[in-house]
Chains A and B, each alone.
Chain A
C-alpha cells in the first residue's frame, strides 16, 4: 500500500452548477499536496467531499484500501482546519483541543490525565504553551489558526485537510505561518491536503500541486513541474505572471503579424495560437530581427527587481518585462525585446 488517499473520478453538482467534473488524485503517505485554483474551481468542494461533509454524486474516495463511504464521519478520522477556524468560542483553548478526545464513546475515550498530557504536548507543538485557559476571542488570528490545527491533530487524523489555512491573516503572519507549517509537517509527517488560491503559498509549501479549473484538475506535479512545464495554457497563465501574445505558427516559426519573433515552435501545428512569455524570460536588446520593439510606458520596483511595461504595436496589452538593475530606460524610450524562453499553445481565442 503506497497511497494514503485516492480520489477516483469524483463528481458533484449543486443544482445546475457542476462543482466537480470527474476529479482523480492520489496522495502518498506523508505527502503535502496543495489544491490550487481560482475561486469556484471546486477545490473546497473536493476537500469537503474527502472530509465527508458533502456526499459525492459519483466516483469514490479511498483511505488506503478502505472505501470512505463505509466509514462514519468519526471513523474517517479527518483533521479538518476550517477557513475561519470554527473554534468553539465558549470553550477554552484547552477544551477546544481536547474536544475530539472527549467526544469519543466512553470505552475509547482516553483518561482525564491522558487527555491533559496529550493537550499539553499539542500546545507545545503549536507553540501556545501557557494560553490553555484563554478563550478564542482573546487570541490573535495566528494563534487561533494554530489552536485549530492542534485541535485537528488531537484525533490523530489519517489525513489532514486545510481549507485556505492562511486566508484570513495578513501578509506578514501568512509568511511566518507558512514556514512554520512546513517545519511542522516535516516533523509530524501527516498526509496533508490543503486548499489555497495563493500561487506562492502552494508552490512554496507543497510537495505536489494540483491545479483545478472549473471543476477539473488541469495538472498535478511538483512546484517546478507545474511552473516550468505547464501542460495547459490555464496553468501557464494562472501560475505567476505571464505575457500572452496572440501569434501564428508557421514552418517552425512564431509570427506576430508579419514578424517572426520566436523560433523553437516546431512541435506546434500551423495556425493561430498563443505564446506565453514570463517577464523574466524577456531580454532587452538593441532592436533588430527576431525581437519585439516598443515604447517604455512605465518602470516600477517590485521587491528585488524592476519591472517595465512596454507598448508593442499589434499587441492588445502592454508587455511586462523584468529589467536588470544596471539598465535604466527612460519612459518613452524605444527598446527591443528578445524572447529567451516561451511556451506555446494552440488555441484559437
Chain B
C-alpha cells in the first residue's frame, strides 16, 4: 500500500470552547428569551385565540365555504408558483455560476429585486401592466383574458415575490462547488441532462430543499402584492392571508385566528418535514459536505 502515517482519512474535529460557564449561560439565556418572546409566544397565542370559543366554533370557521375556497386557492397558487420558481431558479443560478457573460452582474442584482421592492409596489406594477387601463389592458380585454382581479394575477405576483428564494439558496452552493464535478462527468462521457440529474442536482439538493421550503412558506403567506392584484373578491380571489385580514376587520377574531392557525400549522408542517429529512439523511448530509 502507498498509505503513510500522515495520509489518514480526516478525523472528527473537536470545537474549541474558550468561554467561561457564566458567559455561556448568559448568552444562551438571552437567545432563548428572545426566541420565546418573539417566536414561540405569538405562535402560541394564535392557537389559544383560535380555540378561545371552543373546538366547534373553530371547526365551523374553517369549514365555512369562503375559508374553504381561500385554502384551496392558497394551495393552488403555491402549487403553481413553487415549481416554476424551482425550474427558473435552478436555471438562473446555474447560468450565473457557470458562465461569464455581459450583463451577468446586472442579472445577479435583478434576482434580489423582489426582495428590495415592496410587495405592494409589485402588485401595483402588475395592475398597471395587465389592468383594464394598463399597457396590455385593451389587448387582454379584446382576447377575453383576465389577469388582474383573477387567479392568473395572483399567481404572477406570487411568482415574482418568491423568485429569489430558490436561486439565492443554491447560487452560493454552486459557486463554492465550482464546475470541476460537472466537467469530470462530461469527460467521463455523460450527456448534459445525465450530468444534470446525476451530478448537478444531487450536489445542490439540500440547498434546493431549503429554497423550496422557504419559497413555499412565502408563497402561501404572501399578502401585499396579492392583496393589490386580487381585488379581494370574497370566495373567489382571496387567499388565506387575505381572508384572515377580512375576517379580522369584521371583528370576527376567532374565525380570523382559526384560519391563521391553519396557515401557521402549514408552516410548522414544512419545518417538521425539513427536520425529518435532515434527521433521516444525517449521514448523507455529513458525507456530502464539501471535500
- Measuring CB to CB, which residues of chain A are less than 8 angstroms from any residue of chain B? 51-53, 73-74, 76-80, 82, 84-90, 99-100, 103-104, 127, 135-144, 146, 151-152, 154-155, 169-170, 172-173, 176-177, 180
Contacts and interface: CB of A to CB of B under 8 A. Distances in A.
Nearest to A73: B186
B287 A173 contact: no
Contact of A137 (B188, B191, B289): B289
Interface stretch (B5-13, B26-34, B118-126, B209-217): B5-13
Given A74-B191, A103-B191, A173-B7, A86 B289 contact: no
B184 A140 contact: no
Contact of B291 (A87, A142, A155): A87
B16 interface: no
B183 A88 contact: no
Nearest to B283: A135
B97 to A, nearest CB: 16
B185 interface: yes
B6 A86 contact: no
Contact of A73 (B6, B8, B9, B187): B187
B64 interface: no
B117 interface: no
Point out which of B7, B181, B189, B288 has the most chain A C-beta atoms below 10 A from its C-beta: B189
B187 to A, nearest CB: 4
Contacts of A76: 187
Interface in B176-225: 180-181, 183-191, 194, 198-199, 202-203
Contacts of B189: 73-74, 77, 100, 103-104, 155
Contacts of A173: 2, 4, 6-7
B194 A78 contact: no
B1 interface: yes
Interface of B: 1-4, 6-10, 180-181, 183-191, 194, 198-199, 202-203, 284, 286-291
B4 A172 contact: yes
Contacts of A154: 188
Contact of A80 (B187, B198, B289): B187
Given A87-B291, A100-B189, A139 B9 contact: yes
A88 B181 contact: yes
Contact of B2 (A73, A82, A104, A176): A176
Given A78-B187, A89-B288, 11 more contacts: A76-B187, A77-B189, A87-B291, A90-B202, A90-B284, A103-B190, A104-B189, A137-B287, A140-B9, A155-B188, A173-B2
Nearest to A179: B2
A84 B180 CA distance: 8
B287 A142 contact: no
Contacts of A135: 287-288
Contacts of B1: 127
A175 B196 CA distance: 37
B213 to A, nearest CB: 20
B2 A140 contact: no
A142 B6 CA distance: 10
A140 B7 contact: yes
A74 B284 CA distance: 30
A99 B2 contact: no
A108 to B, nearest CB: 9
A177 B2 contact: yes
A151 B6 CA distance: 24
Contacts of A141: 7
Contacts of A155: 188-189
B286 A137 contact: yes
Contact of A86 (B9, B184, B198, B287): B184
